[in-house]
Structure formats: structure tokens, C-alpha cells
Chains A and B, each alone.
Chain A
Amino acid sequence: MIQVSHVSKIYNTGEVETVALADVSFNIKKGEFVAIMGPSGSGKSTLMHILGALDTPTSGSYVLDGEEVAKLSDDELADIRNRKIGFVFQAFNLLPRTSALKNVTLPMMYAGIPKEKRTEIAEKYLKMVGLSDRMDHTSSQLSGGQQQRVAIARALSLNPAIILADEPTGNIASAQADEIMAIFQKLNEEGHTILMITHEPDIAEHAKRIIHLKDGKIVEDGNGHKQRIIWNTQK
């Protein structure tokens, strides 16, 4: 599903070169639930941007669902994001003063799906995340957890190859965070590929596989369960 090979990202700010990612390689198979962890400055946001086709690597190759993404133009990247990636952001990023339903239809609008079909699909996914009674609410009328559920419905709307969640519970009260994680786990059980960035170990625990980043390099890549045992023994 995802093949990242020898990806580097170097930022040139004046005369100083900052290496955000240094020769990172890994594969993610269909149906995996992967958490990417690391302290701030470890390059996990940069990796997330590249995996989300929001940015391109300085060197290396990134193949998503059989398409090489590394060398695409802005509009081609927009198309990849639209068709293959479902984003869930930390800050929810719903359109203000716009109904939950309209928010969910937004990616489908850019995909050129006719209006009636869009509404039908959006209603289906909002029902799935348990918001069937709040479809006409605007984001300011919804709690953080509800907003994030709208964002998940939006991410699912075009049935993407991969769901990319960037600190999905970072702005949510813990009780609601558990609900969100339960949704992600359910989606994974249904066969969705999920890639989640987090710095909270107990959130990462929900994943089957955890990739640890430090200073732009992968320092650990393994089974989530095994790592949990290591931490527990270290404690």
C-alpha cells in the first residue's frame, strides 16, 4: 500500500541546512494500523506531510497505492490527496458556519460527485460515526469529540486508500478521545489502513505497529504489543 524508500527532506533556510528526515524507508501494508511516534523535532510532522502528499521529499521515493507521489505537480498532488488520502487533523479543521453534512461533502465536491450522491454518502458516514441527529449543526454547535467525528466521516467519504490522522485526540477531552480511538479501531477491523501520528503512548497503544522517529531517523519499528511489554518492563 505504502512504500517509502530512502526519503530525505532537507529545509534550506538561508545558509543553514536543516535535515528533517534522513534516509527513511519503510512499507505499510493494506489493513495495517500504524502509529508514528517521536518527540517534537523528530521529523514526524514532516513525514506526515510527505505521506499526506501535502509536501514532496527532497530525495527518495514514495509510492502510495501504486502511484509515485514524490515528483508530482501541485494539482496532481491535490488529486492524490482527494482520491487516496483521508485526513483527520488535530484541530479538526471543519469549515466554520457550515453544517456537518456540508463539511463531509466537501472532498466529494472536488472529486466531481453529483450533489444528490454526495448528500447520500455523507449521511451514511455521519450515521456511522453516530451523528445522524446532528447533521445540520455547524461546527460551533458541536463538541470537540463530535467535530472530530465529523472530520472522520469527511475522511472516509471518498473511501481513501489510507486514513492519515495527525494527533487526532490532541484537542479532545479524554473520555471523548476513547470514543474516537474506538472508531479508528473499528475502521481498522473493517479493513481500513490507518496511519496515526501521536506523542501519547496510550493513544499509540491502539495501533498494531509503532514506528519511532528521532532526529529524522527511524529508531524503532515494531509490533505495538511487543513494545508495550518493553515499556512495562522498563517501568
Chain B
Amino acid sequence: MEYTEIIEEAGITLTLNKLRTGLAMLGIIIGIGSVIALVSLGQSSQASVSNQIESLGANLLTVSPGSQRGGFVQGGFGSATTLTLADAEAIASSPTATDIANVSPEYSKRAQVTANGKNTNTSITGVRAIYSTIHKVSVAEGVFITASDDARQAKVAVIGPTTANNLFATTDALGQSIRIQGQSFKVVGITVSKGGTGFGNADDVIYVPLSTAQKTLFGSTSLSSIAVEAKSATVMTAAEDEIGYVLLDRHKISSPSQADFSIFSQNDILSTASSVTGTFTALLSGIAAISLIVGGIGIMNIMLVTVTERTREIGLRKALGAKKKNIIAQFLIESIILTFVGGVIGMGIGIFASFIISKVISLPFTISIGSIGLAIGVSGAIGILFGWYPAQKAANLQPIEALRYE
């Protein structure tokens, strides 16, 4: 007795009761479909997050102000004003900080911007010319903020493509004037899109000279962050230490545990972000896996009903010479076909769903061979796992009892 024949026969049996077969498969279809879709979306969002973070600049260390610890009151994160332009210049000019390539002092604040009768709220970032090098920002039209802009507190702005679109939907933004907090700025450049989304979108920004932002716009002497580019990826830790010592010395703090600033690298952000998305993916996949188990139990249920319904047939087959292994093979193959076909359909639906969702929320669409292999393997394994008991039950029926069964 060949397996192709058993498979053919099982296929015929399953098509005899299409509704039941379909319903039995449904659990597996949903289970596999959701596993595929969730794993795919998880990987997509992870890839998207790491792309976005990497696009913000490599070998990058970010120094953020922090509240001084050790006192009775601790200020909120990022609210402190402990970093100054002098700190940034000290890092850049320090003779001990040998692993540092570039230093970019930055001041950033959200503000209301109007132009052309349109109104938007976006992030205003005061930068120096070096910003574009460190953060890999390039201009599509016009020029970036220059050193002379900064020196003369020029009222010029370089805007992101999203901002340009928000303010000047149809007309060319270059050369137009925008009003930031009531002051008029001339648009001298538009950046190339980085493809970000949502809050913190790298395309929805306005760059102005640092001196203009600090003195003219917001009247502040502090910095919101200092971006430091290390000479290479391998000296990131050394560069982090060098920055730390310069700042601790300048701020007259003896112990690093009491530092009033924090330094983190792109890698830190990256690993935090991936661990967050990873946890979510694992959690959702876990839920999907539970639905797979439920689907498997559904298969077992249907197979047990089938065995009971076909008791006479089993008795007859045994009377005519079917051995235990023949009966086991027959029922096991039926349940494997159920789960396997269900798994393939579920995989198709899952891929389609993740494709649609990734288009809707504009994520890159990724589907891994691993998850396809896993889905096929798991659905087959579920067929064996949950089909085994009903098949055993069928094989162990006594032919006389089975023939007598009404």
C-alpha cells in the first residue's frame, strides 16, 4: 500500500464533507495566519526602527543634560539646563579627547510656525554647519545652515520635506519666508527625505542657526543635546569615557554616578528599541501560538468524531486484513492533510495581511523564509501531535466490536 494512494484516499474522504473539513481547518488557518502576520510585522517594525536610527548617523554619541543626583529633589529627564555651548567647545578642543571627530551642539524646541496663512507645530532645531555631517542630513534644494549664518545670527531656515509640504503644499518653499514665533525667517534649503513617520519624524523639522535659536528665538543659554561623532565604531566606548571626564571635570563632579548629564550611543538606542519591538513580537506570537494549540485541539476533536462515525468501516478494513499501521497511517494522514492545507492557506492569508498592513502603516514589507518553514513545520507537527490519539484509537478497535457497531 503506497502513501500516494493513502493521501489520495484521505483527500477524497476530506472533500466528502467540505463544510466540516473547512471548519476543522479554520483554527489552523487563523493560528498560522496570525503567527506569520505578527512575526512578519514584528520583523518589519524592527527593521524600520533600526534603519531609522542608523539613518540618524553612525558612530554617534549623544550627550543629554540630566539633573544632578545626590540631592533631595531630582528634576525630570531632559528638563535640566546643565549643558552649555562652552561644554561642547571644551569637548571639541580637549587634548585628552583623542577619539572624537566632530562635535555638534544642538538646541531643540517645539514651536508654532506659520507661512502662507498655514499653521503647523514642529520641532525647531538650532544647529551648526557640522550638524549635517554628523547626522547625515543632506539638502535636496538650496544650502544647509552655514558657519557664517551662525556667526551673524541669520534668520534663515532649512526645512524638512514634510514641513515644506505642510506649509507650502503646491508652491516651491525655497526662498519663501516663514514665521517662527512671530519672527520672519527665509527658507534657504529643503532636506532630502529620511522616510520617518510619526512623532520625532526626521522629515518634519526646521533647522535654524544655533545662535539664532538660542538668542533670538528662545532666549536660552543651555543646549538640549550635544551630538559627538567618534572617529570609528571601535572607539565608541573610549570616546564616551573621554566626553564623560571632560564634562565631569568642567561641572566639578567627582563621581560618575552623580553626573548631571548622560551619554548614550546609537547602539544603546538601537538595542533598546529592538528589545522593545522584540518583546512585543514575542508576546503577540505567543498569543498566536495559543490559537494554534486551540486549532490543534479542534482537529483532534473532529478526528475523534470521524473515528467514531467510521467505526464500521474501520472494523471492515481490519477484517479484510488492514494492520494497525495501515489504520494509523490512514487517519494520521487525514489529520496531517487537514493541518498542512490549513497551514498553507493560513500562510497565504498571513503574508497577504502583513503585506496590506505594512503598506497601510508604511513599514518595509519583510517575510522571512524561516517563518514560512516554521509555519509549514508546525502545522504538520500539529497534525501528527493531535491526530495521533484518534488514529491510535481507531487502530486499536477490535474488528468484531467495530463490525457490530451501529
Contacts and interface: CB of A to CB of B under 8 A. Distances in A.
B166 interface: no
Interface residues of A, number: 25
B320 A154 contact: yes
B399 A54 contact: yes
Interface in B1-53: 1-2, 5, 16
A62 interface: no
27 contacts: A54-B399, A54-B400, A54-B403, A75-B323, A75-B325, A78-B318, A78-B321, A78-B322, A79-B323, A81-B319, A81-B320, A82-B320, A87-B319, A89-B403, A93-B316, A95-B313, A96-B313, A97-B16, A106-B317, A106-B320, A109-B5, A110-B1, A110-B320, A110-B326, A111-B321, A112-B1, A115-B5
A217 interface: no
B321 A82 contact: yes
A5 B352 CA distance: 71
Interface string B305-321: 00000001100111111
A49 B400 contact: yes
8 closest A-B pairs by beta carbon, nearest first, are A82-B321, A110-B321, A107-B320, A75-B323, A93-B316, A78-B323, A54-B399, A54-B400
Contact of A55 (B320, B322, B323, B400): B400
A224 interface: no
Interface of B: 1-2, 5, 16, 312-313, 316-326, 399-400, 403
Interface of A: 49, 52, 54-55, 74-75, 78-79, 81-83, 87, 89, 93, 95-97, 106-107, 109-112, 115, 154
A67 to B, nearest CB: 15
A107 B317 CA distance: 8
Given A93-B316, A97-B16, A81 B324 contact: no
Secondary structure type dominating chain A contacts: helix
A87 B320 CA distance: 8
B285 to A, nearest CB: 41
Nearest to A112: B1
**Residue in B2, B325, B399 whose Cβ sees the most chain A Cβ within 10 Å:** B399
A95 B321 contact: no
Contacts of B321: 78-79, 81-83, 107, 110-111
A191 B312 CA distance: 32
B402 to A, nearest CB: 10
Contacts of B5: 109, 115
B145 to A, nearest CB: 81
Contacts of A54: 319, 399-400, 403
A79 B399 CA distance: 13
Contacts of B318: 78, 81
A95 B312 CA distance: 9
**Residue in B312, B313, B319 whose Cβ sees the most chain A Cβ within 10 Å:** B319
B125 to A, nearest CB: 75
A111 B321 CA distance: 8
A53 B399 CA distance: 10
B324 A74 contact: yes
Given A75-B324, A81-B319, A89-B403, A109 B312 contact: no
A188 B403 CA distance: 27
